[in-house]
Copies of this chain bind each other. A is one copy, B any other.
Amino acid sequence: MSEPRALGRPADPALDDALIAAAIAELIELGYAGLTTAGVARRAGSSTAAIYRRWRSKQELVADTAARLVDDALAPVDTGTLAGDLAELLAHKHAAMAGGVGTALLTLIGASSHDEELAAVLRAEVFGRTRARVEQVLAQAAARGERVAGVDATAFAMLLTMAGLSPLIVGDGIPDAAYVRLLTAAVHHAGE
């Protein structure tokens, strides 16, 4: 995850972690609209002052929270093939999205449609991280000699993100293998 924005606070990683954990729990329980800095402080046994020493706004707190969730879903992969890497990325993502975490992220995406500040931080903290991981996977594929020419990494990251969220949107009806086949073919042949 990114470091909380330093605003002259004393360093206290344990309290940072407690506040982020409380924010995750509040997001899962209440969604973005229901989350308040007061509620997060109360759950962490801390104070809103402690929150505002670390983050300038609810949106910034939530952005760091979302970044933490996404980092769990984006552990590095290197299986030896592009198809293997994509399958493992999707498996990590599903594991990280269990227990209400995916639902919490989905409410953030929905809320961002009426909240430009939230949209901007989500774009940077969540989507930006996914894109960086995708670029790494594509670079690994290229280094192995797999064809990756002509692939727009940003567009591909968007497709992969949504494949990862699809169980939340359309249920468990679509097997990962179907996505892996489509996405691997897309990468190998987009340059033709």
Contacts and interface: CB of A to CB of B under 8 A. Distances in A.
Interface of A: 31, 33, 102-103, 106-114, 123, 127, 150-152, 154-156, 158-159, 161-163, 166, 168-171, 173-175, 178-179, 181-183, 185-192
Interface of A, helix, strand, loop or mixed by DSSP: helix
How many monomers of this chain does the complex have?
2
Contact of A110 (B109, B154, B161, B185): B109
Residue with the greatest number of chain B CB neighbours at <10 A, chosen from A150, A158, A171: A158
Given A182-B151, A185-B186, A163 B169 contact: no
Given A158-B162, A174-B158, A150 B107 contact: no
A181 B162 CA distance: 17
A142 to B, nearest CB: 16
Ranked nearest first, the 6 interchain pairs of A and B with the lowest CB-CB distance are A110-B110, A162-B162, A152-B178, A185-B189, A155-B178, A186-B186
